[in-house]
Structure 1
Amino acid sequence: MKANETKVEDFLSANKTQFVIPVYQRNYDWSTSQCKQLLDDILEVGTNKNMNAHFIGSIVYIHDDVYTAARIKELTVIDGQQRLTTLTLVYLVIYRLAKELNNEGLVAEISETYLINKFAPEEEKLKLRPTENNDKALKYLLRSDENEEFQDFSKLIDNFNYFKGRITEENYQFVLEGLSKLMFVEISLDREKDDPQRIFESLNSTGLDLSQADLIRNYILMGLNRTNQNKIYRNYWEIIERLAKDETSNVSRVSGFIRDYLTLENKKIPNKGKVYLEFKAKYPTTTIDELETNLAEIKTLVKYYNKLINPKKEIDKSIRLQLEYINRLEINVAFPFLMKVYDDYANSTIDKQTFIKVLDLIQSYTWRRFILGLPTNALNKIFMNLYDKVDTSNYLYSIQKSLLQRTGIQKFPKNAEVIDALKVKDVYNIKSKNRIYLLERLENFEHKELVAIEENPDITIEHTAVCRFIRDSSSSGQTSYADVGDSLNPSLF
């Protein structure tokens, strides 16, 4: 490992060099506030003649003596891509401004010094080579075609527009002066002599804001050569990242999915902050074939995780309804179990009706416990081991039996307990989605034409109807609830 203090402009102006952002790096995601802070620092040092230098952290890269066919040296950046990409955007804004001002000398200087390798073939021209979508965005910005609109989403576009609004004819000289004073610590790693993964972990422990999923992705891909990196990323990890995403909020759930997967595999629930360490212990560095075998199983289950967090992805209307109920009740603790049940349904180990009954059973169990106010922390261990109780020859019965045999804080509440609890439960002041769930299940019990209460603004709560349901059920001894004390066919209503 070699470490040196280096000027940013010297680093970026290196001849016939390309800074490659590998596929295992997280996406470029600097916010406007971070861009503002960097530009404020650049302007401050650029306007202050007494300041000779300003440090902006470190850039760590692997130098494997890899050269392209055109003899372009490739440096694989493993830390610092956010700053490196943002600085490239600043130079790009000045490049575009210089074109508007017809300053051909500055246009050529910025372009051929900091943005492109002038004599390289088209695919190797960019000095910074981001991941695929950002690469398209960078090339789009470099083309300077005002009539062309970028079709995809990239933070590069947003941040470029921010800098474009702040860097003007009046201050761009100060920006250039500030850029000339920026310094960072350049850390060069040799894969044969250094351990990039260990160094990366060390960087993370000192404040690099990475998720557990980021660390796992880097662990899987960093030790592979470029060809295998792309192969594993395209065939496995990219698919996992795409499917383990809450499509309503556009939030990645990869860390949560891997946590659920490890819970299923290890029969132990990892701490949220130690999912990476558990994954690393479960899958130590191995051959490419073993890696593909391990990732194949993970990729299979993520298809079902995708539908559990995005019920609308399920084509079957009846199954989708049950998934929506589970999603509304936030029965996330059951995901390790439900992923395997989903897999059994997909592989025809169980039929559709059995699958729906299992989904309904899980709702009944968790909802009844909620009405009684039983502790939710007991559910983690229950669902962690529940699939082990499945008898494929008598699938539903084996799950029912396992849940009904539980006692104490793990028990499956009986009808009488639930009805007594409902008499005093302040259901008007529980979470809105839980209240709607209760009323919707009551409204739709044994009805073929389902009513979506949440989607119908004309529906109001009729207090007397709910009270009458509870009163009549209690006094007459007849109820729509299945008698879970005497039957192995429990349902919610």
Structure 2
Amino acid sequence: MYFEYQQEGIARLLGKNRNELVVPRYQRDYSWNTTQAKTLLDDIANCIHIENGKLKSSQYFFGNILLKGKPVDSDQTLEIIDGQQRITTVYILLAVIYEILKDIDDKSSATENLIELVYEKSLLYKSSEFEERKTLYIESSHNFFPYYLFSEKKEDREDLDILNNSDQSIKNVFDYFYINLQEEKLNNLLKIADKDFSYIELLTVIYYQLENLTVTIVSSSDGKEANSIFESLNSKGVPLEQSDLIKNKIFTELNTNQPTDIAQKSWTKIKKNLEKSKVGKLEFPWIDLDDFINIYWRANYANTTNSRIYYIFKQKVNDGQINPKDFIKDLELYSKEFKALYGDRTNFSISDENWDEINNYIELLVQSLQIKQTYPMILQIVHAFNVKLISEKTVKNNLKFMSNFHIIYNEMFKLPGNRLQYDKFARLIRNIINTSQYNDNTKKDITDKLSEMRKELSDKLPKKEEFNNIVKTILPNMTLTYTNKVNNSNNKKTKNIVFNYTILKNKKISKDDNIEHMVQDSKDDKTSWSIGNLIYLNKTINSKLKDKDLAEKITIYKSIKGNKDIEELLKTNYFSSILENKRELAFQNRQEEILKVIYTSVNNNKTNPQGQSV
């Protein structure tokens, strides 16, 4: 193994020999936050002292930096393999110092000298063609890093879209440094508030202390050797994320027999697929890479604790059970499909007719109830549909079953999730996909596994007699409320549950239906928020009902055709109880009925292959 090493102050490394430091898109994301930023500032402050009446910096070891390339050469692009968190954080700190200097009232020669040191020496360099370049470049899909650091106006910064965790970390660290490098806070940080040092002197000593943060630079021009050194350097101390270790293993293996740009392109696409995205007017959140890999691994390989995924992955690669090239391409495919868990149907071609219903079931499981045990199975159902091995109806009915099951199992009875084996069934389905020639038997094998899963789940619910005996004692402890009058964290969950119930009663919900409070929604009357006061009705009817009292609404309700839910309410004493000032009892009875209907739909173990109760 051939490599070179040298020691250098980290601020002096930036722009040295007109070299550009680069963090490629496929590398580890920036993940430091205000905790690490505070630690760095505290360490810097502890190194600064007063000597002969002047502020002085002192040397401080700041760890190892691993580069691909030769730092001793000039006009090179040096890829940061390890150390990008520290280098990026120091660069952000320098950018903050420059931001403060731009607006400072002191226009003395000391200020101009510091601006030259910070901006023209550390943040920028001039190439051999006299082209001005940033000394650190972080590849990304939208260049958030330079735009946020060097925006001319504060408003421009605030208008930037934050698409992933890395963007959020960059913003948090920049903002933290900006607040804590203000003159009063900096005096307190350095514990010299009683001394007569100018603001420029304080900022200047911070800069020189950054030059004295000494790193050991290990470099190699060979990508495979650099990755091997990376793994060796990180085998001790604080462990890296599983995704970083898996990526490094893939790159090392592929470098042996084929160009690593295959892996680099795939890894870049995976990260892009998990970023915050917009489709039309809809926005979808970013997804943590390690969370995704954990869910993918459980759906396709084993129910492994997060900290052991890399260890098992490495074993399987070494034993020839996993082909790194096939693995990363499969990971890329699933990363596209994973966005469906957060409502993005770009890579989940469900028809318009069924999308709202399917999306409601996924939303209930992922966002409202946050049943993480279901994520591998939802992902595998999306994948099985995309490879045309299950029908849209099968997707809809199995997600309906799962969401209704968890309304009872988790929301109502608070039963433990570790008793559920979604991972096992997800892997069984993937094994069928992997080992079969696609035909009608393949489709039947998958629907059979889904049927087994549903039966196993329904068997874990309390029996009907037990359910009926305890349902009334559980209801008072449930917070199923919905209101438009105040901010209410239960709104989404409650709306999802009413949606599920309405589908069971009416068989469908139109795009023109929305939720209605039968008794007027009131900020001051929390009983009106109860799930027992909610119903799905056509928007046109809802507009007629607006601002009417219940007696007037009942007249309109009687004219509605084809809505079994409202028809049954009119046959019972529900409305008369409310009019007789027994609304709490009426709402409680309706809530009980909603949960009983959902329970019955799940508790019926006799299901057809597509997952619909018969």
Deviations 1:213-271 (A, max 9, x none): 2333344447778x9666644x42233234446888956332232223223332x2111
Equivalent in the alignment of 2:331? 298
1:344 aligns with 2:422: no
Equivalent in the alignment of 1:27? 29
Letter in 1 for 2:40: L
1:187 aligns with 2:217: yes
Q: SS of the counterpart of 2:378? A: helix
Letter in 1 for 2:530: T
Pairwise CA distance, 1:208: 4.2
Equivalent in the alignment of 2:425? 383
Deviations 1:248-306 (A, max 9, x none): 8956332232223223332x2111112222333344599xxx65433222222223321
Equivalent in the alignment of 2:356? 317
Gaps of 5+ in 1: none
The structure-2 alpha-carbon separation of the partners of 1:405 and 1:23, relative to structure 1 and needing over 3 Å to count, comes to closer
Equivalent in the alignment of 2:340? 307
Q: SS of the counterpart of 2:381? A: helix
CA distance in 2, matches of 1:139, 1:311: 27
Equivalent in the alignment of 2:300? 265
CA distance in 1, matches of 2:67, 2:94: 24
Q: SS of the counterpart of 1:359? A: helix
**Equivalent runs, 1:43-442 vs 2, <5 Å:** 43-49=45-51, 53-65=58-70, 71-95=74-98, 101=107, 103=109, 104-121=112-129, 125-132=133-140, 137-138=145-146, 141=149, 145-146=152-153, 149-150=156-157, 152=160, 153=162, 154=167, 156=170, 159-160=173-174, 163-164=177-178, 166=181, 170-181=198-209, 182-190=212-220, 192=222, 195-204=225-234, 206-208=236-238, 210-221=240-251, 232-233=263-264, 235-244=265-274, 250=285, 252-266=287-301, 268-283=302-317, 291-310=324-343, 316-327=355-366, 328-367=368-407, 369-370=409-410, 375-380=416-421, 382-387=424-429, 392-394=442-444, 398-399=448-449, 401-403=451-453, 406=456, 411=459, 413=461, 416=464, 419-420=467-468, 423=471, 426-430=474-478, 432=480, 440-442=499-501
Pairwise CA distance, 1:347: 3.7
Deviations 1:356-391 (A, max 9, x none): 112223335555555677653231354345526895
CA distance in 2, matches of 1:349, 1:437: 28
Q: SS of the counterpart of 1:441? A: helix
Deviations 1:127-155 (A, max 9, x none): 2222336966437756x745993553455
Could you say what the CA RMSD is over the residues aligned between the two structures, in angstroms? 4.7
Pairwise CA distance, 1:307: 1.0
CA distance in 1, matches of 2:420, 2:324: 32
CA distance in 2, matches of 1:164, 1:96: 8
CA distance in 1, matches of 2:477, 2:503: 22
Contact 2:231 2:248 in 1 (8 A): no
CA distance in 1, matches of 2:601, 2:458: 20
Contact 1:46 1:174 in 2 (8 A): no
CA distance in 2, matches of 1:483, 1:39: 59
CA distance in 2, matches of 1:130, 1:5: 23
Q: SS of the counterpart of 1:75? A: strand
The structure-2 alpha-carbon separation of the partners of 1:361 and 1:4, relative to structure 1 and needing over 3 Å to count, comes to same
Deviations 1:404-424 (A, max 9, x none): 665xx9836587357436535
CA distance in 1, matches of 2:127, 2:276: 44
Letter in 2 for 1:187: I
Equivalent in the alignment of 2:194? none
Contact 2:299 2:379 in 1 (8 A): no
The structure-2 alpha-carbon separation of the partners of 1:472 and 1:42, relative to structure 1 and needing over 3 Å to count, comes to closer
Letter in 1 for 2:218: S
Equivalent in the alignment of 2:561? none
The structure-2 alpha-carbon separation of the partners of 1:186 and 1:74, relative to structure 1 and needing over 3 Å to count, comes to farther
The structure-2 alpha-carbon separation of the partners of 1:358 and 1:190, relative to structure 1 and needing over 3 Å to count, comes to same
Deviations 1:437-477 (A, max 9, x none): 655534553224555489x9555344446647969999xxx
The structure-2 alpha-carbon separation of the partners of 1:311 and 1:258, relative to structure 1 and needing over 3 Å to count, comes to same
Contact 2:475 2:592 in 1 (8 A): no
Pairwise CA distance, 1:427: 3.3
Contact 2:47 2:60 in 1 (8 A): no
CA distance in 1, matches of 2:68, 2:602: 67
Deviations 1:57-81 (A, max 9, x none): 213122434899xx51333323332
Deviations 1:76-131 (A, max 9, x none): 32333233233334444555666662645544444443233324347773222223
Pairwise CA distance, 1:320: 1.4
CA distance in 1, matches of 2:4, 2:427: 49
Gaps of 5+ in 2: 184-196, 278-282, 434-440, 481-489, 522-527, 533-584
Equivalent in the alignment of 2:9? 7
CA distance in 2, matches of 1:472, 1:192: 65
Equivalent in the alignment of 2:505? 446
Contact 1:197 1:223 in 2 (8 A): no
Q: SS of the counterpart of 2:334? A: helix
Contact 1:138 1:156 in 2 (8 A): no
Letter in 1 for 2:76: K
Q: SS of the counterpart of 2:69? A: strand
CA distance in 2, matches of 1:20, 1:57: 19
Equivalent in the alignment of 1:460? 530
Contact 1:189 1:196 in 2 (8 A): yes
CA distance in 2, matches of 1:389, 1:118: 58
Equivalent in the alignment of 2:558? none
Q: SS of the counterpart of 1:132? A: coil
